[in-house]
């Protein structure tokens, strides 16, 4: 099997795991919340899976970037910005801080969902800017 294809498969599988964990972890902001904090049930597993998938996405993404000799389409930069928005919104949504209200956490979740959907849309559409 071609190395480039194998890395792409790992990258896409990691994105699929991230989407699954995003949905499962989002449920902790709606079910069993206590004192403006997400439900702690399954927290360790969700955090571990989310960190694993995000790490694999970054590592395989950089590897693919190097393999393509840094030749990217213009929409790639928007994808990177949206990925950073996704990361920062998840940090805000799940930070262990009593001062962050549940409504703010849910807003961070919505922003993360919009960023994730926009990123996936960019990848599928691959717009041409000319």
pLDDT tens readout for residues 25-39: 999 888 888 877 888
As for how many domains the chain has, the answer is: 1
Tell me the pTM.
Answer: 0.89
pLDDT tens track for 53-84:
999 999 999 999 999 999 999 899 999 999 99
For 98, which DSSP code? T
Separation of alpha carbons 15 and 19, rounded Å: 6
Residues in contact with 23: Cβ distance below 8 Å, sequence separation at least 6, in sequence order:
none
Residue 130 covered by a domain: no
Query: What is the residue range of 46's domain?
Result: 3-125
């Amino acid at each position: 099997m071609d190395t480039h294809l194998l890395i792409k498969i790992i990258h896409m599988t990691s994105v699929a795991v991230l989407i699954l964990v995003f949905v499962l972890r989002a449920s902790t902001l709606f079910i069993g919340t206590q004192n403006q904090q997400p439900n702690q049930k399954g927290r360790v597993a969700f955090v571990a899976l989310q960190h694993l998938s995000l790490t694999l996405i970054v590592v395989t993404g950089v590897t693919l970037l190097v393999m393509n000799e840094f030749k990217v389409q213009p929409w790639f930069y928007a994808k990177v910005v949206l990925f950073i928005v996704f990361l920062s919104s998840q940090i805000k949504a799940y930070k262990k801080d009593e001062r962050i209200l549940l409504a703010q956490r849910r807003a961070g979740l919505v922003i993360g969902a919009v960023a994730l959907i926009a990123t996936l849309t960019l990848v599928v559409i691959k717009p041409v800017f000319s």
